Amino acid sequence: MRERQLFEPKNLRKKLAQHSYKTTPQRKEILQVFADNSGGCHLSAEDVHEILSEKNFDFGLATVYRNIELLNELGILTKVDFGDGCARYELAAIDPDVHNHHHLICLKCKKVIEFKEDFLDELEEFIAENFDFQIVNHEVKFFGYCSDCKDKV
Amino acid sequence: MRERQLFEPKNLRKKLAQHSYKTTPQRKEILQVFADNSGGCHLSAEDVHEILSEKNFDFGLATVYRNIELLNELGILTKVDFGDGCARYELAAIDPDVHNHHHLICLKCKKVIEFKEDFLDELEEFIAENFDFQIVNHEVKFFGYCSDCKDKV
DNA sequence: TTATTTGCAAAGTCTTTGCAAGCAG
DNA sequence: CTGCTTGCAAAGACTTTGCAAATAA
């Protein structure tokens, strides 16, 4: 369930240099926050800013926003949206074809469970044929009640 | 592809009365905008406000927000999110079990194509068993290039 | 050196809220 | 009548932007 390869902080300098971006402490530490939380955290810019403060890195919030957006553009982070009013991000899979990682969102406790699935291939084929639509990625969310909550509703 | 039964404006008064809400011209006209656009439009509060202005209904924007939210709570509208920075809504299916209506989103022209599918039942069963998670609804989005755009990329 | 990046504060966008006046039931 | 609803303006949450000072290459 977790063999997905994620971007590693040690490769940051190279990736930035490829695009003529500079390697700053801000960029390194922001990425490190995601690497340290790779166990399935979905962090907002505010979250990252707060975690950095706890580590005594007092970067400007605007800098955090700018660099999260940059890491997203570079494919290092992926945006995920749980409809809670703020953009959230997670480390992206290195292999762009591995886009089969989705979320179960508990309507009661708001817990987010990750899961991996390969059931959608036939559906993608069906869509490609019937809609003449070339699929690049898909996003699947299941809303419901997790094991802790489902009997308490 | 379009046999889904949608909520009808003529049933609004009854639905509102059931919950002791009043039937106001604002509520009727807001719902009417969605009914007139039932051919697959996904409207933001701002969109609805604008369409109403064109029809010479100059309601406050806050009223539009409040009533779209009300219609959403009553199950008359459904929120859809295309990650474009604002909440969008569409008429909900009357039958709550019919939640198998999803979207293909073109990355180039931003066109949204609706489709209906029934492929996810087995995946839901798999999740229920393996994650002890009781699914209420799911949301599926496919990102890619539509027939008009896929050869121009 | 020099163009990029940062930090701050101000501004922007979407949405919600407080409150007096208006209106449906 | 009476409490729900509206409209307005103000406030709020999240995010972006302008600009001078700092800094990576």
pLDDT in tens, A99-121: 667 888 887 777 888 887 667 77
The reply to whether B24 Cβ lies less than 7 angstroms from strand D is yes
Paired strand residues for B103: B114, B141
A136 contact B CB<8A = yes
The confidence band for B33, taking pLDDT boundaries of 50, 70 and 90, is very high
| Both tokens assigned to A4 | 């997905």
B104 contact A CB<8A = yes
Spanning CA of B112 to C1' of C15, the rounded length in angstroms is: 24
| Both tokens assigned to B6 | 């949608």
**CB of A89 within 8 A of CB of A77?**
yes
What average pLDDT score do residues A4-30 get?
A: 95
3-class DSSP string for chain B: CCCCCECCHHHHHHHHHHCCCCCCHHHHHHHHHHHHCCCCCCEEHHHHHHHHHHCCCCCCHHHHHHHHHHHHHCCCEEEECCCCCCCEEEECECCCCCCCEEEEEECCCCCEEEEECCCCHHHHHHHHHHHCCEEEEEEEEEEEECCCCCCCC
A61 contact B CB<8A = no
pLDDT score, position B2: 40
The reply to whether A45 Cβ lies less than 7 angstroms from strand D is yes
Highest mean pLDDT among B7-11, B62-66, B85-89, B133-137: B62-66
Q: Nearest CB to B131: which of A115, A124, A139?
A: A115
Nearest to B103 by CA among A133, A40, A46: A133
> pLDDT at residue B81 above 80?
yes
**CB of A110 within 8 A of CB of A72?**
no
Radius of gyration (Cα) for chain B, nearest Å?
Answer: 17
Per-residue pLDDT tens over the stretch A60-82: 999 999 999 999 999 999 999 88
Task: Count CA atoms within 13 Å of residue B134 on its CB side.
Answer: 10
Number of other CB atoms surrounding residue A46 within 10 Å: 12
Percent of chain A past pLDDT 70, that is, above it, reads 88
What average pLDDT score do residues A3-18 get?
A: 90
A112 alpha carbon, distance to own chain's centre: 12
**CB of B100 within 8 A of CB of B115?**
no
Which bases along strand C come within 7 Å of a protein CB atom?
4-10, 13-18, 23-25
The reply to whether B27 Cβ lies less than 7 angstroms from strand D is yes
User: Who has greater pLDDT, B85 or B29?
Assistant: B29
Per-residue pLDDT tens over the stretch B86-116: 999 999 877 655 566 788 888 777 788 888 7
What average pLDDT score do residues B38-53 get?
A: 89
DSSP element (H, E) containing A143: strand A134-145
Provide the number of CB pairs (under 8 Å) joining chain A to chain B. 107
Burial of A77 (0-12, 13-18, 19+ CB in 10 A): buried
Task: For strand D, list residues 64-123 of chain B whose Cβ lies within 7 Å of it.
Answer: 66-67
| CA-to-CA dists, residue A99 to A55, A57, A78, A93, angstroms | 32, 33, 11, 8
